[in-house]
Structure 1
Amino acid sequence: MASSRASSRKEHLVETALRLFNEHGYHATGIDTILKEAGVAKMTLYNHFKSKDDLVVAVLKRREEWFAEQYRQKTLGWEKKPAGRLQVWLEIYEEWFRSADFNGCMFQMGAAEYSDPKGPVFRAIRAHKERTMKQFATLGAEMGLKDPISFGRQLMVILEGAIQGAKLFGPEPAIETMREMVRHLLPYRA
C-alpha cells in the first residue's frame, strides 16, 4: 500500500510539473512552485528525483509516452498502409495544435533552456528526437520511398517548424502548410 501511495505521489508530481513547465517554461518554474501546486513536501520530491533535472527528464518521458499513446489509440485494431499511418501522425499533430493546452513543444523549449549537450535534459531531448526521426524513416521505408532516412529527417523538420508556426501564428496556417509540405515529400517513391 505504501509503494502505491508513493507511486501516486510521484505521478502527481510529474503531472503537476508537466503542466507548469508547459505553461511557464523550465527555468521559470521553481521547485517550490511545483511543490506548492502539487501539495507535497520537498522530501517527497527528493525521495523520487535526485534533482530538478531528473524531474524534467521524467516530464519529457511522460510527454513522449503521451504521443505514443495517442498513436496507439488511433491505430488500435486496424492495419493501415504506411501512408495511412503517416496521416495518423499528422492528425495527432493537428489535434495537439488545436488543443487548449498547446503551448509549443516541451522538447524544443527544453533544448533552448538546457543547451549543454552533455547534460541529462539535453541528452533526453536528443534521444527523443532521434527516436522520432528513426520512426519516420522506418515509415518512409515501409512506404517504399527512395531515401527513407532523408524522408525521416525532412518530415522531422517539417513537423518541428509546424510546431513553431502553430505557436506563433495559430494552428490553421501551420496545419495547412504542414500538410502541403508533406504532400511534396510523397512523390519521391522508389
Structure 2
Amino acid sequence: MSAVSSGGVVLDGVGQGWWLVASEDDGSRRVVGGPFPQRTDASWAAGAHADRGSGSVRPVYGVRRADGVLHHRPSPQEWAWLAHLGGQLDRLPEDWDTGLSDDDPLATLVVEVAAALAEAGLPLHDSTGPDREAGGACLTPETGLGIVLTWRQHDRMSVDQLHGAAADTAVQRVMNTALAEVLRARGFVVDAFGGASGHVIRLAD
C-alpha cells in the first residue's frame, strides 16, 4: 500500500504513524494498511484483517519511505513508557548501583524487575522524595545474592499503625507475597528471604 491516508503525518512523501504489517509464511513481512494516527485505530483495523482471514497482522509504528520500506521507530507510547520507567528508577537510592558496571547482570536485573513491577501498576518506593510516605516496592541489590524485595506500606500503616500492629503485619505479609507472585508470573526466580515474609530475586544461572 503506497498511498498515505489523511490520518498519517506526511513529510516530503514520508509517512509516519501506525502501520499494519502482515507476516508471510516464508518469514517476510509486508505493509497492508496505514498509517493510522493512534494505536487503537491500527488495532481495530488489524482485527478486521483477522476477521477476513488475512493471516497474522499486527500494528507497527514507524516511517515508511517512498520506496515502500518501513522503518520501525519508537512510538509515542514507547517514549512515554521509557520516561515513566526512568522516573521509577530515579526513586532507587542514589548509591544503589555503586560498584556495578553498566553491563553488570545485577544492574540489568534491577531494571528488568522495576519494569515488570511498573507494568503491573506497582510503584517503587521513593525513600527520599516528596512521596516517601506513600510506600511502594523496595529493591535492594546485593552482590552475589540478587535483589532483596519487600513492600513498604503507607506511613499510616507502617509508622503510625492507625489500624494496629496486627493489621500492619498481616497486610505486610500479603503485599510481600503479592510482589513475589507477580514476578514469578513474569518468569523471575524468586525465593523466600528473611523471617518477615521478604523475598530475594535471584540472578539467572
Return the TM-score normalized by structure 1: 0.30
Answer 1 or 2: higher relative contact order, Cα 8 Å, separation at least 6. Answer: 1
Higher helix proportion: 1
Higher strand proportion: 2
Structure having the higher Rg: 2
